[in-house]
Amino acid sequence: MNANDFADRLTATATGTEALLERLLDGAALPGETARPGRLLDAMRHGALGGGKRLRPFLVVESAALFGVARAGALLAGCGLELLHCYSLVHDDLPAMDNDDLRRGHPTVHKKFDDATAILAGDALLTLAFEVMAREEVHADANVRIALVRELARASGIGGMAGGQMLDLAAEGRFDQKRTLAENEIVTLQAMKTGALIRFACDAGAILGKADAPARQSIARYGAAIGQAFQIADDLLDVEGDSATLGKATAKDAAAGKATLVSIHGAAGARAMLAQLIAEADTALAPFGDRADILRATARFTADRRS
């Protein structure tokens, strides 16, 4: 697969995600809903629309495609996951958390609205994520949908993303004296804070495709490798990236005195780790042959990205 083909497919899924999120966040109340208050809807839309590479939906769609799953259901499941990812950005940006004013080049939700509205918008995006995952259009088999709900909840709750954010705040010395994390603690924190949702994105495709245990295991290894690669690339961008290109602040880790794998191993060491993780991702995909080329390209993209 050449770079242009990959870029085209990534763009196509980002476009499809945006269109579907637009529909999921329209003003029409669903059965079982009373009404959708305009201010809250506007804040949710501000937090979810108009942005990003939509890497997580792309992983769901391409992992599902490996198992012959039709695109429409996988894209809807990917949108459920993206809503959850967006909630985490809205809450992490709050003054009480990471206190960020800028996200994807725009004011964060609490800057554009206010803290209370941002808290509620995050809550409602998280809730909508599960509502979407439960929809029949995701998959005809309720067992598949309930597995998605369960695994998404575990990936994003206390034992996953939310727990990882807690560890991150603790590492900044917010609750006790600040201390420098050991490498294994950094790996655990990152596996929870950012890795868990990326692993879930890959696993979701396998769940949708009712993959057998060995295949699901292979996808899990792939997801773990690219999840780690994603975070190392992020830490490299924080050191080397340009805030105008990224649309968010950079050099935040160094300013906060925060240890990362980049600060421990240096940029060259981190690049060597990325190469190793790409190799691991390739190995994990071996059983699928060249049908998995798009996922191999995704691993390289995740490691090499410049924004």
In the bound complex, what is the minimum distance in angstroms from residue 176's beta carbon to its own copies?
9
In the bound complex, what is the minimum distance in angstroms from residue 9's beta carbon to its own copies?
28
In the bound complex, what is the minimum distance in angstroms from residue 287's beta carbon to its own copies?
22
If one counts every other C-beta atom within 10 angstroms of the C-beta of residue 184, the result is 8
Question: What 3-state DSSP class applies to 254?
Answer: helix
C-alpha to C-alpha distance for 79 and 62, rounded to whole angstroms: 14
Residue type for 181, please?
L
In the bound complex, what is the minimum distance in angstroms from residue 170's beta carbon to its own copies?
7
Nearer to its own copies among residue 135 and residue 210 (C-beta): 135
Residue with tokens 């807690």: 166
C-alpha to C-alpha distance for 161 and 91, rounded to whole angstroms: 12
| H or E element in which residue 213 lies | helix 213-240
C-alpha to C-alpha distance for 158 and 174, rounded to whole angstroms: 18
Nearer to its own copies among residue 69 and residue 128 (C-beta): 128
Nearer to its own copies among residue 181 and residue 237 (C-beta): 181
Four-CA torsion 223, 48, 93, 300, nearest 10 degrees: 30
Nearer to its own copies among residue 134 and residue 246 (C-beta): 134
If one counts every other C-beta atom within 10 angstroms of the C-beta of residue 1, the result is 14
In the bound complex, what is the minimum distance in angstroms from residue 92's beta carbon to its own copies?
9
Nearer to its own copies among residue 54 and residue 193 (C-beta): 193
Nearer to its own copies among residue 65 and residue 79 (C-beta): 79
- For the chain, what is the radius of gyration of the CA atoms? 19
In the bound complex, what is the minimum distance in angstroms from residue 173's beta carbon to its own copies?
13
- Under the rule (CB under 8 A), what is the footprint of its own copies? 29-37, 39-41, 44, 87, 91, 94, 96-97, 114-117, 119-120, 122-124, 126-128, 130-131, 133-135, 141-143, 145-146, 149-151, 153-160, 162-167, 169-170, 174-175, 188, 191-192, 196
Question: What 3-state DSSP class applies to 140?
Answer: coil
